[in-house]
Amino acid sequence: MEEIGHYIGGERVAGTSGRTQDVMQPMDGTVRGKVSLASAAEVRQAVENASEAQIGWARTNPQRRVRVLMKFLELAHRHYDELAELLAREHGKTIPDAKGDIQRGLEVVEVCIGAPHMMKGEYTEGAGPGIDVYSMRQPLGVVAGITPFNFPAMIPLWKIAPAIACGNAFILKPSERDPSVPMRIAELFVEAGLPAGVLNVVNGDKEAVDAILDDPDIKAVGFVGSTPIAQYIYGRATANGKRAQCFGGAKNHLIVMPDADMDQTVDALIGAGYGSAGERCMAVSVAVPVGKETADRLVEKLIPRVESLKVGPSTDASADFGPLVTREALERVKNYVDIGVKEGATLAVDGRGFKMQGYENGYYMGGCLFDNVTKDMRIYKEEIFGPVLSVVRANTYEEALALPNDHEYGNGVAIFTRDGDAARDFAARVEVGMVGVNVPIPVPIAYYTFGGWKASAFGDLNQHGPDAFRFYTKTKTVTSRWPSGVKDGAEFIIPTMN
């Protein structure tokens, strides 16, 4: 059985805390290995290592730093299949879905190759008599990322790439549920030429998280996960003087207008609602058809599609989705379906009884579809994070628009329509951070920023794109005057341009 420790100082090291957790294989419920759970002392060891390595890395010019990213991309593509299989076996998503996870992370690495341009400052000659003013972006120092189980390649890469491109050293605390891909990513970065210690991986639970939040040498923390934990991390990090960006839960709506192409809409809902077993922060979990006729047509087309979804093991490339990540996650989702039935929603398709032949101990569940869900129900208010789609019927466009606007979360939203005026009005007025127009999962491309609103995000700056370079750097502004033309005598007022 594999023992997974940590990655510190450019090599794998065994854990010393004496605490471990099983790493499961969701498709059959077997134990793949044990991961060490770091103590505060082990986190501190990684921080000390990173602090020492960061000094030389920051002095390396940006162009040479991004050459490491370029070499990493080459290595990642060479090991693409290996990474995808490793990811699928520990997470449960299918191998094609795992490859998408990796690819979306690599796209951010590609954008970070532009770091020399993104880090350029500004310059004004002659801002005053004999005075020049210029600014420069400098790295923060040691920064950290706490990343979730559902994207064990993508989200770590979203954080690692811009952080190290800017000259920081990075401490990654990935999910203890699927730690192998983040460990492998760290190895590939070092193989690509990243100096030992610039990227360290500490596996662990709350003890490791708190150690990161309290460490005085860690200057910034990024997090993705549930809203309660995002609030906790943001509050504790900022109380300790750290810069923080924390992303939480979601309840993503897809508004279906009467003029929408219904076949296209159903395809979108099936893929966005049930892909990766619904374990995505950008999964569509609420369909909002406008008008009774639209709702009836939508549900009529959805039912047979949900019933025919192919659930299979992670290694089955033809499966629509695989198992959930843990038995606890499976039971949690089934419990939400029970709650929906008790609350009075119509369970049009029930996937709770699904069993995978030959994989009876795996964490499988078929797709579930609720109709006649109302906004006072828990299955509407709360994030289920499973293969469950709820249909909330709206009588008018304004009623449909009010649903995402009034919801606690504001991560992603979409509208399907042929009407340009309706789409433009919706994009302007909806109170959500990422909007799709006939696009069900509006994850921005890598050179735009990713981030939600309201209880879906805490902090002023988003992930990847220009915001990443702002988050991982601090701006220094220099006002320079040389002796020629300088007046004698002290000045006792604040400098002005007069």
> Catalytic: which of 166, 246, 281, 368?
281
CB 393 within 8 A of CB 332: no
Instruction: Provide the residue type at 362 as one letter.
Output: G
CB 463 within 8 A of CB 222: yes
CA atoms within 13 A on the CB side of 297: 17
Element (H, E) at 471: helix 466-471
Which string of b and e fits 444-455 if b means at least 16 CB within 10 Å? eebeebbbbebb
Contacts of residue 394, Cβ cutoff 8 Å, sequence gap at least 6: 255, 288, 289, 290, 291, 400, 403
- Reference 380, options 406, 398, 401, 417; nearest CA is 406
CB 17 within 8 A of CB 39: yes
Taking the C-alpha atoms of residue 456 and residue 338, their distance in angstroms, rounded to an integer, is: 26
- Reference 219, options 137, 139, 141, 136; nearest CA is 141
**Residues forming beta bridges with residue 142, ordered by sequence position:** 169, 218
- DSSP state letters, 106-169: HHHHHHHTTHHHHT---EEEEEETTEEEEEEEEE-SEEEEE--SS-TTHHHHHHHHHHHHTT-E
> Using CA atoms in the order 323, 325, 330, 333, what is the torsion angle rounded to 10 degrees?
-100
Structure token digits, residue 281: 């922060």
In the block, which residue shows the tokens 């579809």? Answer: 369
| Centroid of chain to Cα 456 | 11
Q: Is 368 a catalytic residue?
A: no
Taking the C-alpha atoms of residue 342 and residue 301, their distance in angstroms, rounded to an integer, is: 25
CB 329 within 8 A of CB 288: no
CB 461 within 8 A of CB 470: yes
Taking the C-alpha atoms of residue 371 and residue 368, their distance in angstroms, rounded to an integer, is: 10
Structure token digits, residue 303: 């039912």
Active site amino acids: 281
